[in-house]
Amino acid sequence: MTSQLIFALFAQVLLTLIVMVIMGRRRFAAARNKQIQMRQFATMELGSAPESVQVAGRNFINQFEIPVLFYVAVLCALATNTSGYTFVALAWLFVLTRVIHSAIHLSTNHLRSRYFTFLAGCLVVLAMWLTLVWRLI
């Protein structure tokens, strides 16, 4: 169980790093193509940047919002030795929702699909926390 949870954590970290690389590539391409000025990076005022640059930046920020609740839940489960098959399955399901969310966000950015995927991830994190608390009672 422990190794599966650590692998799920690693998968989420890897997703974050992949999004960071995508964001960087888009930003540098936009700067190279004179769509944004390098000086804009000093204050991160990228409001005039192409939509693809702004979306990648927003997706990167997303990786430090709801996923923080995932990280804490997994670390608490590991620390209290309360993980089980259900918790591990939920952890991997959360990572899957984040991968799908990022894929949608960074490609078509279809709002309805993105929203429901985001919502599914939030519900999975809630289920993880409820499972964790239930096992501690």
* Residue 62: other Cβ atoms inside 10 A: 17
- The answer to whether 30 touches 36, Cβ cutoff 8 Å, is yes
Residue 78 to residue 9: CA distance in whole angstroms: 11
Q: Is the pLDDT of residue 62 over 70?
A: yes
Percent pLDDT > 70 in the chain is 92
Higher pLDDT, 45 or 77: 77
Look-up of token digits 């918790």: 87
- Reported as half-sphere exposure (CB side, CA atoms, 13 A), residue 12 has a value of 25
Of residues 69, 79, 80, the one with CA closest to residue 124:
69
Q: pLDDT tens, 65-101?
A: 999 999 999 999 999 999 999 999 999 999 999 999 9
CATH number at residue 16: 1.20.120.550
How many structural domains are present in the chain?
1
- The answer to whether 114 touches 100, Cβ cutoff 8 Å, is no
Domain of 16 in residue numbering reads as 2-136
